[in-house]
């Protein structure tokens, strides 16, 4: 009785071992691939590229090119004429076109040293199925143009667009300032003092029309405004050094300058305990306000003086100033009729209310 029981237990254990071995076996069967070197979808497919061109694996570039030219002339769809007794791949115009494409593919594969090396490796190692697919499509899908050239051209194009966009904004700002009476009158006074608005009464062919004189005066006024007014912020005069291309070129210099500046800051103010100068105080205030350098520079001088008088570089003083500004803004909004209408609408209706209009 014990013997049959032991035999049944042994059979059950063996069955469990076979069941445990089934998943790896099935996985191996699923992943198995044919060991043939020629694979459909890679290079010349089921045909050998060397046989397609009629050359040996030891053939050089000149022999491969010569064989390609002969076959291309023979199977070109526009020039193909079937020869008597021709049993090749191009017996009909359709098959001739297929043969021409196959010949072109074989030549593209064998003319490049790296691609030919990958193809020869595939012929010698047919079992590395996935590796062949990787090398084939990595070369096929690789960009034809150097990525560095693409990046350089893109950066240059962006820089050119930046320059003309900034210059257009600057011209618009100058044109607007030329219409503001305050600046226009001052510019005209300067032009009169310099004798730029004297209208020379020229006779004959060189006599200017009223429109030409008006345009010339307008350009004079704009030029004076350009030379006398320093526009800051988004409408300032474009500088070459602000373009993306030059910012990238000067990035190492800016990085080194920042490291040196930061080390000096730590040494002077954290270690030696020096007092902040005006430039350093304004820098701390700007950082507290979370404003960029161009935004802070566009502020009026009297605003910066107010910041310095109130000692806003000190954190406690800045918090008090910030709270005052928020309270002042709330008062302005409370007295604004548009803000009152908006609050009334939010209270009575609000964005979540559904209304239906009967037609």
In a domain, 107, yes or no: yes
- Predicted confidence band of residue 175 (pLDDT cuts 50, 70, 90): confident
Specify whether the CB–CB gap between 308 and 280 falls below 8 A: no
Do 47 and 119 lie in one domain? The reply is yes
pLDDT in tens, 264-296: 999 998 898 888 999 999 999 999 988 888 778
Please indicate, yes or no, whether residues 134 and 79 belong to a single structural domain of this protein.
Answer: yes
Ramachandran sector of residue 291 (left: φ over 0; alpha: ψ -120 to 50; beta: rest): beta
For residue 4, being part of any structural domain is answered with: no
Q: Which residue matches tokens 């040196």?
A: 260
Within-domain flag for 246: no
Mean pLDDT of the chain: 77
Q: Which domain holds residue 289?
A: 275-346
Task: Name the most confidently modeled range: 74-83, 107-116, 177-186, 189-198.
Answer: 107-116
Residues 116, 65 share a domain: yes
For residue 250, being part of any structural domain is answered with: no
Q: Answer yes or no: do 77 and 121 share one domain.
A: yes
Q: What pLDDT is stored for residue 343 in this prediction?
A: 66
Domain count, the chain: 3
CA distance 89 to 188: 87
- The answer to whether position 30 is within a domain reads no
pLDDT score of 93: 54
Q: Is residue 219 part of a domain?
A: yes
Distance, CA of 272 to CA of 266 (rounded, Å)? 9
179, 173 contact by CB (below 8 A)? no
Burial letters 242-263, b for 16+ CB under 10 A, else e: ebbbeeeeeeeeeeeeeeeeee
In-domain check, residue 108 = yes
Task: Assess whether 127 and 152 both reside in one domain.
Answer: no
172 and 107: one domain? no
pLDDT score of 255 more than 90 = yes
In terms of domains, do 137 and 153 share one?
Answer: no
228 and 166 assigned to the same domain: yes
């Amino acid at each position: 009785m014990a013997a049959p029981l032991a035999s049944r237990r042994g059979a059950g254990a063996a069955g469990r071992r076979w069941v445990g071995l089934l998943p790896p076996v099935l996985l191996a069967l699923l992943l198995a691939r044919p060991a043939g070197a020629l694979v459909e979808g890679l290079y010349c497919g089921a045909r050998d590229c060397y046989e397609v061109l009629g050359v040996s694996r030891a053939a050089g570039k000149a022999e491969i090119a010569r064989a390609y030219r002969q076959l291309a002339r023979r199977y070109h769809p526009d020039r193909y004429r079937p020869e008597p007794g021709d049993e090749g791949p191009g017996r009909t115009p359709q098959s001739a076109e297929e043969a021409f494409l196959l010949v072109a593919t074989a030549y593209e594969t064998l003319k490049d040293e790296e691609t030919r090396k990958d193809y020869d490796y595939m012929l010698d190692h047919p079992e590395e199925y996935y590796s062949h697919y990787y090398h084939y499509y990595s070369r096929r899908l690789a960009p034809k143009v150097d990525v560095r050239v693409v990046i350089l051209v893109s950066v240059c194009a962006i820089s050119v667009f930046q320059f003309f966009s900034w210059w257009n904004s600057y011209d618009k700002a100058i044109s607007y300032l030329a219409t503001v009476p305050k600046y226009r009158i001052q510019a005209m006074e300067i032009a009169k003092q310099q004798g730029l608005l004297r209208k020379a009464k020229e006779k004959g062919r060189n006599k200017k029309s009223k429109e030409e004189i008006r345009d010339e005066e307008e350009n004079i006024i704009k030029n004076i405004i350009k030379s006398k007014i320093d526009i800051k912020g988004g409408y300032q005069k474009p500088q070459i050094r602000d373009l993306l291309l030059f910012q990238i070129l000067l990035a190492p210099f800016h990085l080194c300058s920042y490291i040196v500046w930061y080390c000096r800051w730590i040494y002077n103010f954290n270690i030696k305990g020096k007092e902040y100068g005006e430039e350093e105080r304004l820098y701390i205030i700007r950082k507290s306000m979370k404003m960029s350098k161009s935004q802070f520079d566009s502020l009026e001088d009297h605003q910066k003086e107010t910041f310095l008088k109130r000692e806003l570089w000190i954190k406690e003083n800045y918090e008090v100033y910030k709270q005052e500004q928020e309270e002042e803004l709330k008062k302005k909004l409370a007295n604004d009729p548009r803000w009152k209408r908006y609050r009334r609408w939010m209270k009575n209706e609000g964005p979540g209310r559904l209304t239906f209009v009967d037609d």
